[in-house]
A and B are shown apart, each in its own frame.
Chain A
């Protein structure tokens, strides 16, 4: 439903999005994850026909965002980052106005507004002025606006930012619910959110896609080079040889630490060799004083990317 190919966007001399390509199939929830300023909003704004790309191709629901902008806009529901709304309008008036702009007839509008409003738990706020609503409710008005015309594709830019924990949970379950019959793309800079909601994650940093896949696959990929740290007292060469012989161990590095052998053991991520290692050392009569697993989590990976981006910014 969303297809992006070699998309690049410059703001003046600043490169915001650097030659990215991805594809979102129908009825999938994709999370667009990245630190602030990574190019998430820029990509989203290109997809929603707000900004044209500098080069590359993007299509939404089969229509080119540049040449068939109107068709794309009709098929799209979009919640912009800070949920900008007309403060002086009432919730009902605003939603009615937006449907009118989409060409929905007077007869159909009230039912559609009602349905969307019920879906985002906004029923009792219908006749309130938007300017008087709290941030959470305003966010829901934006969400209602994005879904009420049953668009084929829904794009949400930071949908849970500024919400309290209950509202975040409600919003997440709503998004999951929406994905049953819509293609959803949401951006976030919070990993746990994307992990909790999305079928697939695209991690973006400095305008480039650094990783993409299901949360499980990503985790697997990251922990592929997971590591075991152990400190064993025993004859150096024998220790290396014995430990290296355990099934699932790829490589063993050794260094001396006040009379102990400190081993860095690269292991197969899917295997837990700790028990084998313990058995071997006791059989040999060696002493074991430490054994721990270094598992790279998505969080670590994400923090690493964020840190890299910050470093390069300081350069």
Chain B
């Protein structure tokens, strides 16, 4: 546990030393701010963050998080620092978990900037506190999953761009494709696609529902990709 915290702290510090963190945060803030102004913060609209949370924020995260997380392991593999890390008295699982929690805290900080929007809406109307908190929990799960998937691909290759692109493809496949396809099919197939897809699970949160089903969906998805990352890292030793 202590090692995970140490590794996560270093990772988080590394983010704030690199310009990419500030670029991504700035981009995220300006995009979410723009959509917030145009979709929510207009006279006559209901005092709810839901229009932005439902679709726009996941879309921004879909592009932003692979860019944030692509360097996690790829950078270590490319520069060779992985050798120092893997010969230190830390387990491979601790390395992966440290990386994951480091980037997760960064993501939470990035997400926290949108709380300003919530406060602004709150000044002019009554927001549904519970629903907004639920939406944030959903965003935590969604972002956590995106980060875990990118971490997995980052462990596979020393090329950051390939790691990001592979994550975009896989995330796109599970996030946006089911939304498009499920409108054109019916019956069991539709149910299966909707269960596998990320968005139906997430949108329950943005509607204000915290259902154990959906919580487990995100937790198990994150656990799966973290587990796979550890396995890939272990297998690197043998090559």
Contacts and interface: CB of A to CB of B under 8 A. Distances in A.
Size band of the A side of the interface? Answer: 20 to 34
B6 A88 contact: no
Nearest to B15: A88
A78 interface: yes
A101 B84 CA distance: 11
Contact of B14 (A49, A82, A86): A86
Interface stretch (B38-46, B86-94, B129-137, B206-214): B86-94
A50 B86 contact: yes
B83 interface: yes
Contacts of B18: 88
A88 B14 contact: yes
Interface in A43-84: 45, 48-52, 70, 73-74, 76, 78, 80, 82, 84
Question: Chain B interface residue count: which class?
Answer: 20 to 34
B238 A73 contact: no
A11 B239 contact: yes
Given A70-B89, A82-B80, A84-B83, A101 B6 contact: yes
Most chain B CB within a 10 A radius of its CB, from A49, A82, A86: A86
A224 interface: no
Contacts of A97: 6, 10
Contact of A78 (B2, B3, B6, B87): B87
B87 A101 contact: no
B79 A84 contact: yes
A98 interface: yes
Contacts of B13: 89, 93
B5 to A, nearest CB: 9
A312 B7 CA distance: 45
Contacts of A78: 84, 87
Residue among A80, A87, A101, A145 having the largest count of chain B Cβ atoms under 10 Å: A101
B80 A84 contact: yes
Contact of A86 (B2, B81, B83, B88): B81
Nearest to A75: B89
A11 B90 CA distance: 24
25 contacts: A11-B239, A12-B239, A48-B87, A50-B86, A50-B87, A50-B237, A51-B238, A52-B238, A76-B87, A78-B87, A80-B83, A82-B80, A84-B80, A84-B81, A84-B84, A86-B10, A86-B14, A89-B13, A98-B88, A100-B6, A101-B3, A101-B7, A101-B88, A101-B90, A102-B89
Interface of B: 2-3, 6-7, 10, 13-14, 17-18, 79-84, 86-91, 237-239
Given A84-B84, A103-B2, 19 more contacts: A11-B239, A45-B83, A49-B86, A70-B91, A76-B87, A78-B87, A82-B80, A84-B80, A84-B81, A89-B13, A89-B14, A89-B17, A93-B13, A97-B6, A101-B3, A101-B6, A101-B7, A101-B89, A102-B88
Interface of A: 11-12, 45, 48-52, 70, 73-74, 76, 78, 80, 82, 84-89, 93, 97-98, 100-103, 145
